[in-house]
Structure 1
Amino acid sequence: MRPEDGIGVPLTLVDNSGRRIDTGPEEVVFGALRLSRWHVHPVAGVHAAFPGKAAHLVKINYDLRIDPGAPVMRWFEIGFPLADRDSTVVAAVPRGATEPQPATSYALSRNLEFVPVDNSAALVHIPPTDGPVHVYGASGDSIRWLHVAPGRTGVRPGSYSAWIVLLTPGGRTEQKFRLTARFEPRLADGDDFHPVPKSTEFSISLTESTRSPLVEAEKRGGSGVGLPRPSPRVFICYAHEDETHKKKVRDFADLLRESGLDPRIDKDQEGPRTEWDHWALREIREADFVAVIASPTCKAVGEGTYESTGHPGIRSELGVIRNLLQKHPEWRSYLLPIVLPGCSTDDIPMFLHPATMDHYIVEALTRTEIEYLLKTIRATQPWQGWGQR
């Protein structure tokens, strides 16, 4: 199936009657992310450092469609993980930026990087952005763009475009992708819904690109644009105290995401059924930092005084954290105790050393209030100690 056939994923809210694994939550669809026709160009003149590979310059067109009367959207993210892991994305634009950006044109270098040029005849053109755009994809097996609303008016519906350089084994005729979508609407107080991620698989033809105009890579000096630098990945560990607390945690995750970080939280997990303890172990080990959200239940579980059988998620996650910390005590600097509005430092579990190590009090869910936390994360080399990341 090809993007021009109408590939898309719905923007879906579910009520808060349970996790996605339940059959009970009611779904409400109020829009969609849909792909338009992609343009795939074969690339000639590639540097000899890519033997046996074929390069393709790909323009990605996608539409954000929001139904009339739907809530405005704080941000939306569209992603394209590769299903064939012997292929890779080696460059992507637009680049990540925390401020609106002017229109930019690029040429393609022999090293398969986008080189900014002041040339209206250049093949690659990126229109101006009206808000921050963050890009994730340093691993090369996926690429994601996060569009953030510039104000309370929400992200603009309509058409967007991006470009990637795709490197595949020579002779490959088709490339499989997964289209992923995440978003955060600005819901009214009291609305008992939250968004869920959706995805679908599709493929693009690479043989048809032989009928597209050939792109000749250019011999250009100077710095080019490849993949973005890795964004710090932050796993968020928290107890499901009540809906008010859960919303604060989601808003905190949004602040990290809008600041260019890559937060991981259970609400973003897609799928009909999940082994949550295995998911937590994998996410914690793959994270650069772990943010532990203080709360009464978090403290009780962390200190062994919680006697109920409820809250299996926080019990599993803190169990993993305690065991890893026992084996790697130097990891403690990558555990970030967070105190959100409504909680206090007394809600931090003792094993996180609330009196003798830093903790981060967020008195309001604003960018200013997390600035100290962001500086700490950006000034700390991400954890590299597991030995098998």
Structure 2
Amino acid sequence: MSSENTIAVDLTLVDEGSRKIDTAPDGVRIGAVSLGMWQEDVISAPSDMSDDWDTYLIRINYELVLEPGLPPLSWFEVRADFASNTPEPAFIVDALPHATSAPRVPTSYALNRYLALVPTDFDSSAAAHLPGTTDIINVFGIGRGAVRWQHSSPAGGVLQGARSAWAVLAVPKGRMKQTVEFSVRYAVQSDKAVDYRPTQQPVSFTLTLSAPAQSRGAVEPPNSADPAEPPPGSPPYVFISYAHDDARRKTNALRFGELLRRCGIDAHLDQWDCDQRGDWSLWAIRHTREADFVIVLASPMCKAVGNGEVDHKTHRGLQTELGQLRELLHADSEKWVPKVLPVVLPGERVEDLPLFLRPYTMDHYLVDEFTREEIEDLLPVLTRRPRRPRPPLGPGA
């Protein structure tokens, strides 16, 4: 255990011009995000993971407290950086909570053999627990040295109170002291604060890690595959291509990506990669060529773009993605037909898939609800594990 309960990041509004809030010269303190006790447990890394790393399951507790009478926050974001000012940075293998666009019920998670946190119904196998929440949550930084959780609320300002997060942390082998920089970003939900700039001062502290040889609290990932795990090797890498027709379709694409990740599928979506400026056409090309599978989501605009029924200035990003898929399918159909999967989400129609995907003469996948049961036809394709294994031949008559 690591006691970091005396650490807090103050949230302060600094005057940017004409004053509309009476403040002290150095700004007005509107609240703080305080750290509670952090828990760290040694993880027994899978045998096929490089022995250059020690792995830990870290529980991160933080609490948002606002001063009485001041406006709420539209959103706030906490960031835990395990890589700053370190020549050999640590990195985040997985992190909870995963992104969610709807209220979440209390959920328990187990570690699979790839050190991914997947939902479980069995308390005895659970390594992490998250309470229910009404927050909309975005998470950034998995696979990197710093992880961020952004909280917002469909009902307006985010609620005060304590929250928990979990991170699977890999550090260079033998490291017993890990530097962490903790910071906060936020926005105030008030017109009165328009002339004030939200500020905060990041804090750094040292997290003491247990020796990997100790068995105390060791978390043992399963050695054999279970239904929540992908087959031997890396988790299936899936790129989701879709049209930004409207807010509902963007939300449905996000919910579908979240569902795949909960089922152990390494799904990638543009809404998770918007934390820095970049070339989106190169981003799409890289994901398409490197992914094990490319999923194309049905919609009227997807059909129109795929069938060449719009001008070249409409939905240029989707034109790049679908144009590349047409080229790849034409150049090597034997390789790419099994990799490109048409999917029809709730409220969509099979008729709204582009013709070059051949949705009627080949398979398409219907998803009527965002549940694991509704993607039972799709998961065997992504994991290359049939739902009903072929029985062995008998001796015959």
Q: Do they superpose with TM above 0.5?
A: yes
Counterparts of 1:127 and 1:190, CA distance in 2: 32
What percent of counterpart residues are identical? 28
Q: Does 1:149 align with 2:153?
A: yes
Paired residues for 1:88-237 under 5 Å: 88-121=91-124, 122-152=126-156, 154-189=157-192, 191-207=194-210, 210=214, 212-219=216-223, 220-223=225-228
Change (3 A) 1:229 1:178: farther
Change (3 A) 1:148 1:212: farther
Counterparts of 2:150 and 2:318, CA distance in 1: 19
Contact 1:136–1:230 (CA under 8 A) maintained in structure 2: no
Contact 1:80–1:142 (CA under 8 A) maintained in structure 2: yes
**RMSD in angstroms over aligned alpha carbons?**
3.7
Question: So what's the TM-score if we normalise by structure 2?
Answer: 0.55
Contact 2:92–2:168 (CA under 8 A) maintained in structure 1: yes
Change (3 A) 1:3 1:29: farther
CA shift digits 1:181-219 (9 cap, x unpaired): 000111134752131243111121003784851211123
Question: So what's the TM-score if we normalise by structure 1?
Answer: 0.56
- Larger radius of gyration, structure 1 or 2? 2
Counterparts of 1:90 and 1:357, CA distance in 2: 40
Q: Does 1:50 align with 2:50?
A: yes
Contact 1:31–1:66 (CA under 8 A) maintained in structure 2: yes
Change (3 A) 1:15 1:127: same
Q: Offset of 1:39 from its aligned partner?
A: 0.5
Change (3 A) 1:260 1:224: farther
Indicate the residue corresponding to 2:277 in structure 1: 287
Change (3 A) 1:49 1:33: same
Indicate the residue corresponding to 1:39 in structure 2: 39
Counterparts of 1:15 and 1:261, CA distance in 2: 33
AA matched with 2:64: L
In structure 2, the gaps of 5 or more residues are 19-23, 241-269, 285-310, 322-397
3-state SS in 2 of match to 1:215:
coil
Change (3 A) 1:263 1:25: farther
Q: Offset of 1:3 from its aligned partner?
A: 4.8
Counterparts of 1:229 and 1:31, CA distance in 2: 41
Indicate the residue corresponding to 1:6 in structure 2: 6
Counterparts of 1:224 and 1:96, CA distance in 2: 19
CA shift digits 1:348-383 (9 cap, x unpaired): xxxxxxxx996xxxxxxxxxxxxx9xx7668867xx
Counterparts of 2:199 and 2:238, CA distance in 1: 27
Paired residues for 1:194-343 under 5 Å: 194-207=197-210, 210=214, 212-219=216-223, 220-223=225-228, 260=271, 287-288=277-278
3-state SS in 2 of match to 1:166:
strand
Counterparts of 2:53 and 2:317, CA distance in 1: 37
Contact 1:136–1:143 (CA under 8 A) maintained in structure 2: yes
Q: Offset of 1:17 from its aligned partner?
A: 3.2
3-state SS in 1 of match to 2:191:
coil
Counterparts of 1:78 and 1:213, CA distance in 2: 27
